Amino acid sequence: MVDLSVNFSGVKFKNPIVLASGILGVTGDSMAQVVRNGAGGVTTKSLWPHEHKGHANPVVISTEHYMLNAVGIPDAGPEKAREEIARFRAASDGGLIVNIVGGKMEDYEEIAREVATMNPDIVEVNISCPNVEDELGKPMACSTVKAAEVTRLVKSALADAGAGDVPVTVKLSPNVENVLAIASSVLEAGADGLTMMNTLGPGMAIDIDMAQPILANKVGGLSGPAMKPIVVKHIYDVYAAHKCPIIGTGGVTTGRDAIEMMMAGATLVGVGSAVWLRGQDVFGKIVKEMEGWCEENGVERLADIIGRVHEGN
Amino acid sequence: MRILNTMPRAMKIKEVREESELVKTFVLDGSIAAQPGQFVNLWIPGLDEKPISVALDDGKELWLTIAAVGPFSKAMHEKVVGDKVGVRGPFGTVFTCEEGQRLALLAGGYGAAPLYFFATEASRKGCKIEFIVGARREDLLLYTERAAELPGVKVHVATDDGSAGHKGYNTQILEKILEEAGDSDAVSCIYTCGPEVMMVKAAEMAQKYGTDAQISVERYMKCGFGVCGQCAVDGLGVPSCISGPVMPLERVLQIPEFGKYHRDELGRKHEF
């Protein structure tokens, strides 16, 4: 019997597989279904402090090699989020990571105060969406100063609202020159962990028969299997420097992929695009594959493999 | 190389049929191997992409019947023979039946299109089909004449104003059929597509008369392949684009929002 549980900055998950932000997760009941399908926890879609419209359709396309999306982070605002999170809590014992986003600095403070009273296990700060670039994305994800400022703001807003003990993880962009420098700056600013990473890009796909970009937003963030080696490399670098809790997200499709992320340094592993590749029950499939691998390799505690690739290096 | 339903393919409009003042059927040149009950995401570049029920896919042509009700459908109505549109799909679950059954198909408004597609298949399987169509007025009725040409199909019509057929609701016709059916000609299953209040009625009747039902649950959809989460229904928590639109009665009864509310593009609830 393999112990699959992991501990992320004091929060226990029955297994390390969590729903990545932006996939499914519009409603509390759909997040509960993800846990019934085998995940140890879920991440909500990014929550805004106010209503925010997404992009026109098509918002997501998929091939065997990649998924490209520009959903545009639609959200009805905190009132709806509160109701859905309460429904999730009533229906599920899975871990809850609440992802927040804003257009301006003040937005992050406002939404952090709101979610402080929504009983999150972990707060994940999205500073890195590549397809709403006017509002965020590059400005915050690329700047060590701005990324640290957002982190401090969220930490203090949570503390002011009585949720100072809720761990904060900052979701980093792979689309910057200095991933390690950004990681170091947000950790120094008080982040308890990191989510690595948001989608790549932005990229574009053109339908040659229509002679038009397919996504209504023209460009979108790239995810899926091809992204994994880039994420693994960044996790490897950051874990080597900081040994901090990391949610590894990007292209994980199988149990072996998830173990690879954990060996690089991830404690939790986000799964998103694989929902299309392997179905709604992909979470349980991955967990079962991880368990099988542990049994074959004499691993009794899955958590023991976190950062294993660094041992002796 | 595998053709992916998650990527658009360009299809040429081969014929445009005026069904009524408000409704046109676009015959696209080619098949996407869609089955009755399924839908496609229809794409007009630079404007939008919308889920549309398939009205027929016979292996050579794809029929899409569209009412001009919003900016997208109005733009679609401007399209002419030879124009190209993007199609993704087919997506979703299908209506199913066994050979030689007696079936009741209950269509409200545009719901007649996918049920016509199903009637063509059930007719080929030797089923006896009660095709019950409801609309506000006679000129808004769809697919009644084409359905009447299929072997084994009997068409029943209800209009709100009595301009054609029974004056009143199509569910009243359905109830009469279920009431009058004896052991030898019992209705095996009710198939329904249209306004949700009508489908709630159909579900109630299925329970009252001990009949199976297959119900097309329509929610605001974006991706079509079960990742964006937009169309998840409460209770089950499953995306209706892949677990639906067609769901058996027992699944629909596990959806507390059925007949009560649906969600908009931001996920906010709206009551019916």
Q: Is A118 a residue whose pLDDT tops 70?
A: yes
C-beta atoms of B50 and A57 within 8 A: yes
How many Å apart are CA B123 and CA B184, to the nearest integer?
19
Does the CB of B226 have a partner CB in chain A at under 8 Å?
yes
Mutation target among A27, A73, A87 for the B interface, most CBs of B within 10 A: A27
Tens of pLDDT, residues A19-37 = 999 999 999 999 999 999 9
Please compute the mean of the pLDDT values over residues A268-285 and round it to a whole number: 97
Nearest to B226 among A27, A75, A276 (CB): A276
ipTM (interface predicted TM)? 0.93
* Residue A92, C-beta contacts closer than 8 angstroms, at least 6 positions apart: A31, A32, A35, A36
Judged on CB neighbours under 10 Å (0-12, 13-18, 19+), B121 is middle
Instruction: Using an 8 Å CB-CB cutoff, list chain A residues near B49.
Output: 56-58, 216
C-beta atoms of B2 and A80 within 8 A: no
Chain A nearest CA to B191, separation (Å): 26
Tens of pLDDT, residues B41-77 = 999 999 999 999 999 999 999 999 999 999 999 999 9
Tens of pLDDT, residues B6-38 = 999 999 999 999 999 899 999 999 999 999 999
How many residue contacts between A and B have a Cβ separation below 8 Å? 132
C-beta atoms of B49 and A212 within 8 A: no
Does the CB of A73 have a partner CB in chain B at under 8 Å?
no
Among B72, B69, B65, B71, residue whose Cα is nearest residue B28: B65
Nearest to B229 among A25, A63, A67 (CB): A25
If you average pLDDT over every residue of chain A, what do you get? 95
Query: Kind and range of the H or E element at A204?
Result: strand A200-204
pLDDT for B1: 46
Looking at chain A, the whole-number percentage of residues with pLDDT higher than 90 is 90
pLDDT for A141: 77
Among B219, B234, B227, B226, residue whose Cα is nearest residue B265: B219
Helix, strand or coil, per DSSP, at residue B214:
strand
pLDDT for B212: 98
Instruction: Using an 8 Å CB-CB cutoff, list chain B residues near A37.
Output: none
The band of B182, judged by pLDDT with boundaries at 50, 70 and 90, is confident
Residue A62 neighbours by CB distance under 10 Å: 22
Helix, strand or coil, per DSSP, at residue A307:
coil
The band of B147, judged by pLDDT with boundaries at 50, 70 and 90, is very high
Please compute the mean of the pLDDT values over residues B118-125 and round it to a whole number: 98
Does the CB of A75 have a partner CB in chain B at under 8 Å?
yes
Q: Is A134 a residue whose pLDDT tops 60?
A: no
Q: Is A136 a residue whose pLDDT tops 60?
A: no
**pTM assigned to the model:** 0.95
